[in-house]
Amino acid sequence: MKGELLNERALVMAPEDTVATALADLDAGERLDDADPSVTVAEEVPFGHKVALADLDVGETVRKYGEVIGEATEPIAAGEWVHTHNCESTRGRGDRAAAATGDGAAAADGDAGHAGDGR
């Protein structure tokens, strides 16, 4: 596996990443001493989800795989769970384009499914 293990419990994919992926259900209070600087998990982080390795301000980029995966929408402290509640994509945001042009009609039909067809 590529990346660096933190106490066998989480995985950092690249040195410049600001999040690690939980390889088990992490509990609040758990320490990831292998991180530099070390991090105390602040809340439950489920298997496969991300924990912050650094403090992030609103608008700051979140990095995984050594790449930008989105930006913080709330202040995030090291050790906190990073997910859709505090991190969002900067891409494919037709809703923002619609809001900027005042074109609410297109947004109102809500057919996001075809744009992404996600599974």
- Using the minimum distance from each CB to another protein, give the nearer residue, 74 or 95: 95
Mention every residue, 6+ apart, whose C-beta is less than 8 A from residue 118.
Answer: none
Rounded to a whole number of angstroms, the minimum distance from the CB of residue 55 to another protein is: 18
Looking up tokens 């930006």, which residue turns up?
Answer: 71
- Using the minimum distance from each CB to another protein, give the nearer residue, 10 or 39: 10
- Using the minimum distance from each CB to another protein, give the nearer residue, 30 or 81: 81
Rounded to a whole number of angstroms, the minimum distance from the CB of residue 20 to another protein is: 11
Nearest to 18, CA basis, from 84, 87, 85: 87
Site residues (CB under 8 A) for another protein?
1-3, 11, 13, 21-23, 46-50, 62, 64-65, 67-70, 82-84, 87-98, 103-107, 109-119
Structure tokens at 53: 């390795």
Inter-residue contact 43 to 80 (CB < 8 Å) = yes
